[in-house]
Amino acid sequence: MAPPLLNLDNIHLTFGGTPLLSGAAISVSPGERIALVGRNGSGKSTLLKIAAGLAEAQDGEIFRQPSATIRYLAQSPDWQGYATVRAYVEAGLGPADDINRVAMVLDHLGLTGEEKPESLSGGEARRAALARVLAPQPDLLLLDEPTNHLDIAAIEWLEDELQRSPSALVMISHDRRFLEKVSRATVWLDRGITRRLDKGFAHFEDWRDKVLEEEEREQQKLARQIVREEHWLRYGVTARRKRNVRRLAQLQDLRAKHRNFRGAEGTATMSASDASLSGKLVVEAKNISKTFGERPVVKDFSIRIQRGDRIGLVGANGAGKTTLLKMLTGALEPDTGSVRLGTNLEIATLDQNRAALDPNETLAHFLTDGRGETVVVNGEERHVVSYMKDFLFKPEQARTPVRELSGGERARLVLARLLSRAANFLVLDEPTNDLDMETLDLLQELVEDFPGTVVLVSHDRDFLDRTVTSTIAPEGDGTWLEYAGGYSDMLAQRKGQELERRKARPQEERAAKGGSSEAPKQSSKKLSYKQKFALENLPKQIDEATKKIATLEQKLSDPALYSRDFDGFQKMSAELEQLRENLAKMEEEWLELEMLREEIEGA
């Protein structure tokens, strides 16, 4: 077996009193794809920085293969000395790297390369940092939240790019679907230690729950053992005559073990403050449009949103999701058309930039608006520290400035204030940013169970599928359409519409040539021998290609293959790419022939 590219063993690190890492370990072999998961604040990013050599452990063994190239996705890029984004990305290339990949990666991430670093938004800077680590195709990629600030199209491209890449990966992400598609192993960082599952993230949650259940059973056994030992000490015949010092010491050890056990981190408790019911009609938009310069962002869009609807907005960055959201909620006037808001609306809004956060404000002051030590939730006064605990903040953090919080903690803080406000209409712009998966689960339940109306913007496909009742998506040139269901439902409906358009195309062509748009009663048109042969044999060929693809994907998932047989790895990767292209062509050809056959038989 090939030696690991990276090996961290028994890593210890303590900030303040509680150890952050207390025996963490991770080993990465060539070609492995590892999801590093854990709660916000568990130390995932710190462990990744130690792996990259950007932070030091207080104890433990660290090995990095000297010949291996390692790239770490920086949260805050250092732009000093770079006039353009392209120059910054090209500076990350090694002597043997292909400079042509720079333009390709930048294009897929929505950048030209000519942007000036000082003019970049936070999202653009993040994408530029991602381009710098992806362009070289290093031996090992360390990615901390690579999907942040990416739209769905870019996330899907990134998934495909990482699946094709020969690089080994360690990635931290809150995007479930991304981890399920890319990862082949999972390392769980929990209470300072790591556990490894040699399966992808799709299998993680069931495994984690079993581990925690077993842990709970062990603690119950330990508690019963302590009770038995205490009973022996009090009532045992031997104990009354002469204390058994060794057994007494064992009891003290058991008590200490039970007392010092760090159970699994708690979960946030989320519930929205109730407001009185809104009217049945929440929003009615008629033929609204918005243009910036010469570019139509929204064109002739109409919708009726009723109480209880949960609507998701999706689309590429810059497509106009936030603009449409603001028009629907009355925050922005349309150029043409009208928006009517319903009666008795109490709107609570979460913007994607977390604009309400003042870095110098304390947590308690932010939650109470500076009005003492209490916050009113569902009409009841609660002490701010008690309310903070619902969102996993410690009592001592009440006087902590916002600037000292992590991204996940800031997201939880904004949600805590939002949910304390009485509302019957939630407007959420990228609510899932920086939330860990457990908190995402609770937010999902909140949205599902909310008695009012929810309109949200998100790039999290899994979250959309689990929460929304309909999805609004851009179709190009300012046109937006509403689809029933979540993101996956939208894709299925779009595919069905495309099939209908293809079926209608022959009739439209006949009409354009002066013939009737309706098929004639009888037709002498028949499939040729070649077409019949293809129609009969293509399904077999498609099935064979699918099996070959599955076999190659299985072989390429071997983490040792890349180092053991590099030429073989490259050959199989090229063959897999060719097979996928051929499969797409065969499916397209079969679909066209099948529609032609249906048309002839229908005539």
CA nearest 438: which of 266, 271, 310?
266
Residues 288 and 334: beta-carbon distance below 8 Å:
yes
Mean pLDDT of all residues in the chain?
83
Q: Which fold has domain 519-602?
A: Helix Hairpins (1.10.287)
pLDDT at 247 over 60: no
| Mean pLDDT in residue range 526-546 | 81
How far is residue 139's CA from residue 283's CA, in Å, rounded to a whole number? 52
Helix/strand/coil (H, E, C) string of 435-500? CCHHHHHHHHHHHHHCCCEEEEECCCHHHHHHHCCEEEEEEECCEEEEEECCHHHHHHHHHHHHHH
317 is in an annotated binding site: yes
Percent of the chain scored above 90 by pLDDT?
A: 38
Would you give the distance in Å from CA 534 to the centre of its chain? 42
Domain locations in the chain as residue ranges: 6-206, 215-260, 281-485, 519-602
Query: DSSP assignment, residue 401?
Result: B
Q: Is 42 annotated as a binding residue?
A: yes
Query: 377 - beta bridge partners?
Result: 380
Q: How far is CA 265 from CA 42, 154, 287, 437, in A?
A: 9, 33, 49, 13
The architecture of the domain spanning 281-485 is 3-Layer(aba) Sandwich (3.40)
pLDDT, position 514:
57
Query: Does residue 168 contact residue 32 with C-beta atoms inside 8 Å?
Result: yes
What pTM was computed for the model?
Answer: 0.70
- Read off the pLDDT of residues 65-90 as tens digits, 9 standing for 90 and up: 999 999 999 767 888 889 999 999 99
Q: Do domains 6-206 and 281-485 have the same CATH topology?
A: yes
Q: Is 322 annotated as a binding residue?
A: yes
More confident residue, 168 or 598: 168
Q: Is 45 annotated as a binding residue?
A: yes
The answer to whether 16 is a known ligand-binding residue is: no
- Is the pLDDT higher at 93 or at 40? 93
Contacts of 18 (CB under 8 A, 6+ apart): none
Neighbours of 591 (CB within 10 A): 14
pLDDT at 468: 92
**Token reading at 101:** 């990949």
Regarding the domain with residue range 6-206, which homologous superfamily does it belong to in the CATH classification?
Answer: P-loop containing nucleotide triphosphate hydrolases (3.40.50.300)
pLDDT digits (tens, 9 = 90+) for 188-227: 999 889 999 999 999 998 898 888 888 888 877 777 776 6
d(CA 153, CA 156): 5
**Residue 38 assigned ligand-binding role:** yes
Average pLDDT over residues 412-440: 83
Annotated ligand binding at 122? The verdict is no
Cα angle for residues 411, 414, 417 (degrees, 5° grid): 150
Check whether 315 is labelled as a binding-site residue.
Answer: yes
Q: Which of 458, 469, 455, 454 is nearest to 432 (CA)?
A: 458
pLDDT of 453 reads 93
Question: Is 319 annotated as contributing to ligand binding?
Answer: yes
Q: Phi and psi dihedrals of 134, rounded to 5?
A: -80, -35
Written as six digits, the tokens of 180 are 């399920």
Q: For position 243, what pLDDT does the model report? A: 47
Q: Which residue has the tokens 């000082």?
A: 118
Q: What is the pLDDT of residue 441?
A: 82
Of the chain, the percentage scoring pLDDT greater than 70 comes to 84
Three-state DSSP state, 66: coil
Cα separation, 53 vs 254, whole angstroms: 39
Residue 254: enclosing H or E segment and its boundaries?
helix 245-260
Query: Annotated binding residue at 452?
Result: no
266 annotated ligand binder: no
CA nearest neighbour of 294 among 477, 114, 474: 477
Say what the pLDDT of residue 508 is: 59
316 is in an annotated binding site: yes
- Is 40 annotated to bind a ligand? Reply is yes
